[in-house]
Structure 1
Amino acid sequence: MTHSQSDRRPWCRACERPVSHCLCQLIPDLDSRTHLLVIQHPSERRHPLNTARLLVRGLRNAQLLIAEQLSEQSDVYQQLQDSAWRTELLFPGADSTLLLAAPADNRPRRLVLLDGTWRKARRILHLNPILQQLPRVALPAGLHSRYRIRKAPMEGALSTIEAGVTALGIIEPGSDFSLLLTPFEALIEGQIEAMGDERFNRNYRSSV
């Protein structure tokens, strides 16, 4: 269940957190009709605030791919080309349309999310023409992130787990995906506790 990292602290293999801060008991096991594919920039893999990993761990119908550039021989590349699926890329921009709950399309639905800073996410998009060819969808304006220890690069910016939960809530309004945010909230609270109130208030309180 555990292994030792370079600092020799016991480490949880499942959530990749120190055992003393393991989040596994808080991670739900939820089903969804929509398949979520999260493509994560390799530099985010060991980030202590890795919300993409929490999102995928909490969903049965989700997949995490760590890559900057997709191989044309990979299973994921083939999935993205499969016309039997309605596959969309969740990415804001002038070419994006508003994400809708029930489009007139009977195909199974796949939603692709890019995980990383905006610069890294744009790089993944730039390096992969297959992603550029996907229809782009965006979340509604006016959303606010709970990510209190990272300053948003732009208004309405959400963490990957928040974006995924919001998107699934729109596509499948009859289901409740809010439990996915429970380990996310615990992660944020743990980081705030570790940094101390003084540092949090100085660096982040004004942005809350």
Structure 2
Amino acid sequence: MSRYCLQCGKSQKACICQWIQSLSSNVELIILQHPTEEHRPMGTARILSLSLPNSYLFVGEDFSTHDELNHLLAQSDVEHYILYPSDHSRSADELIAKANTDKVRVILLDGTWKKAYKMWQVSTNLQSLPCLHLPKGLKGNYRIRKAPSENSLSTVEAGYHILSLLQPEQDFSPLLAAFDHMIQFQIDQMPPGVFERNYLK
């Protein structure tokens, strides 16, 4: 018997499948995952790909010649955006009306800020896509992973917020519920006092 779940890829003990709910979404997500994130015990991209049947998850760093991604980007009847804050990015809430009338896909970069920046820089097929940013003031709940700032979001939190903004009539809270269960499980495995000493400062 494999030590790892064949569906979520996590160890059998830390399997998240029991908390996953299949969610319908008109907006499609493409998650581009840096290879160093693929097997992290606390990685969250898998929550999105398992919960959203029409999402895509690709692993790599330079996606310039990635056949499957380029096939998707070539579909002229779909509006593509990348969730990446930049000097020229637009606020995601400006797309609410468009998401209700056009087919929209949003690309998420799954990696540290440094690695996400590298992915965006070397993937030439991403350079021409319009960039989006989420509203300021959103706070992440990644309690057991050091973040560069209070408003840093995990990939699943970013996915939740972009979907909730573009489709406010739908409930995507099961994404955050699965995330919270995953985090709480990891906290419960820590020796007494470790979480309080290392993460509640």
Question: TM > 0.5 between the two?
Answer: yes
1:105 Cα deviation from its structure 2 partner: 8.1
- Confirm or deny: 8 A CA contact 2:80 2:107 kept in the other structure: yes
**Residue 22 (structure 2) pairs with residue 16 (structure 1):** no
Question: Quick one: which amino acid aligns to residue 188 of structure 2?
Answer: E
Report matched runs for 1:1-208 at 5 Å. 2-3=1-2, 10-72=3-65, 74-100=67-93, 101-103=96-98, 106-206=101-201
C-alpha distance in structure 1 between counterparts of 2:193 and 2:100, whole Å? 52
1:172-196 CA-to-partner distances (Å, cap 9, x unmatched) read 0000000012221111111112223
Q: Is the 8 A contact 2:27 2:99 kept in 1?
A: no
Distance 1:199 1:85, change over 3 A: same
RMSD over equivalenced CA pairs, Å: 1.6
Q: Hey, what's the Cα distance between the residues in 1 that align with 2:111 and 2:99?
A: 32
| SS of residue in 2 equivalent to 1:102 | helix
Deviation, structure 1 residue 93: 2.1
Q: Taking structure 1 as reference, are residues 152 and 131 closer, same or farther at Cα in structure 2, changes over 3 Å only?
A: same
Q: CA deviation at 1:73?
A: 5.7
Q: Secondary structure at the match of 1:103?
A: helix
Q: In the alignment, residue 149 of structure 1 is paired with which amino acid?
A: I
Q: Which has the higher contact order (CA 8 A, sep 6+)?
A: 2
**Which range is displaced more, 185-194 or 119-128?**
185-194
Partner deviation per Cα, 1:112-159 (whole Å, 9 max, x = no partner): 000000111001001012111100001000011111011221342100
Q: Please say if residues 89 and 111 of structure 1, whose CA atoms lie closer than 8 Å, have aligned partners that are also in contact.
A: yes
Gaps of 5+ in 2: none
Q: What count of residue pairs does the alignment treat as equivalent? A: 199
In structure 2, do the counterparts of structure 1 residues 186 and 104 end up closer, same or farther at CA, with 3 Å as the change threshold?
Answer: closer
Taking the aligned partners of 1:104 and 1:193, their CA distance within structure 2 comes to 40
- 3-state DSSP of counterpart to 1:48: coil
Contact 2:38 2:59 in 1 (8 A): yes
